[in-house]
Amino acid sequence: MKNLLMTPGPTPIPEEARFAMAKSIIHHRTDEYSEIFKELSKNLKYLFKTENPVITLTSSGTGGMEASVANLFSKGDKVVVVSVGNFGERFVKLCDIYGLEVVKLSYNWGEAAKANDLKEVLAKEEGVKGVFLTHHETSTGVLNDVKSFGEILKGTDILFVVDTISGLIANEFETDNWGVDCAVAGSQKGFMAPPGLAFVSLSEKAQKALDKSDLPKFYFSFKNTLNRLPEGQNPTTPAVNLIIATNEACKMLKKEGLENVTARHKNLKEAVAIGIKALGLEFFVKDEAVRGNTVTAVVAPEGVDGQAVNNTMRDKYGITIAGGQGAIKGKIFRLGHLGDVDRFDVLSLFSALEMTLNDLGYKGFEAGSSLKAIQKYYLR
């Protein structure tokens, strides 16, 4: 049975990146490695749309999130954490662990955050040092309007930290133009690379904040990492082959063109939405305007366990999708359309989804209806 990965991360890895990772390993304290790492760092600036440095950490995206807390703030600092789902809650936990004073701005899962609400919070709260926001909330598929939040924080001393781990590349994101001081991403999402690398962009304001932070850090020290960046080196042993593979994937993305890559993901999202409607299913995120290009969350039809959809797709038909998290586990399933994915992958996805829903007793559609609707969309 062939296997297809249709999750919001990890995502399918192109052949070029896989072959690059399979080459004989090289030593990291060599000119050969330094040139590759310098090229990756330059490519990262292109993908983040920033003129500021982007550092690479050997960790998952969560390591980058934790490092942003530990490097930019001090114990007792007051911060606002905007939470619209599971990964917004992760920022809350990280800030709590490091002893920050958290003002939480929460929304129901499936809803997007509103910039005006932040404006009201800042008018009431004095001495706020940072605002944390999730760009794309992977647990629900909601896309937050980072630009509007950045406009509120423009000209202030408040640091704007954004988790764009599953948002970057697939969705529009302009680090510098939107006033983002610290943006965190991960290799296993839109970068089309294996898990294991986190990327963090740092504005001049964020770099100055590094000297004020009194929180403990060693392995994830931004200052140490920045100091070695100009020479194409890392302070400790990096994940050499992961860096080589990610650089190959970045070169592919650059060749396709970032705007074209984002447009491709938008088209994939639209095709998936058409298929969902054809099957008579319900979107978890009701507002179409805030559905991201990364993943689509679908409400499991009455009488069907969302986790059973996930398991059947994977075990019987060889297509891995994602289930619900937290309080919505078993109530939804999530269809990823991120990374090295094309229109034929979407057609395969819906072919298996129709058979899965039929196996689980959902009869609210005519066989082939989603495939027909998606093909009509592509023919247009």
Cβ atoms 229, 223 nearer than 8 A: no
Six token digits for residue 344:
């034929």
User: Which of these, 138, 249, 245, lies nearest to 196 by C-alpha position?
Assistant: 245
Distance (Å) of CA 269 to CA 66, 257, 263, 310: 30, 19, 10, 19
How many helices (H) and strands (E) in the chain?
A: 13, 15
Q: In this structure, what DSSP letter does residue 24 have?
A: P
CA distance 303 to 113: 31
Burial code of 221-232, b = ≥16 C-beta within 10 A, e = fewer?
bbeebbeebeeb
- Using alpha carbons only, what angle is made at residue 140 by residues 135 and 143, rounded to the nearest 5 degrees? 30
Give dist(CA 244, CA 193) in Å, integer: 10
Tell me the two tokens of residue 179.
């006033």
334 known member of a binding site: yes
Select from 214, 222, 256, 219 the least CA-distant residue to 236: 219
Tell which residue, 18, 106, 150, has the closest CA to residue 327. 106
What is the spatial distance between Cα 306 and Cα 339, in angstroms, rounded to a whole number?
A: 24
Answer whether 239's CB lies under 8 Å from 196's CB.
Answer: yes
Find out whether 196 and 189 touch, Cβ atoms under 8 Å. Answer: no
The rounded radius of gyration (Å) of the Cα atoms in the chain is 21
Round to whole Å and give the CA distance between 68 and 329.
29
The answer to whether the bond into 10 is cis (omega within 30° of 0) is yes
**343-359 and 369-379 helices, crossing angle to 10°:** 160
Q: Binding site residues, as ranges? A: 334
Q: Which residues are annotated as a binding site for substrate?
A: 334
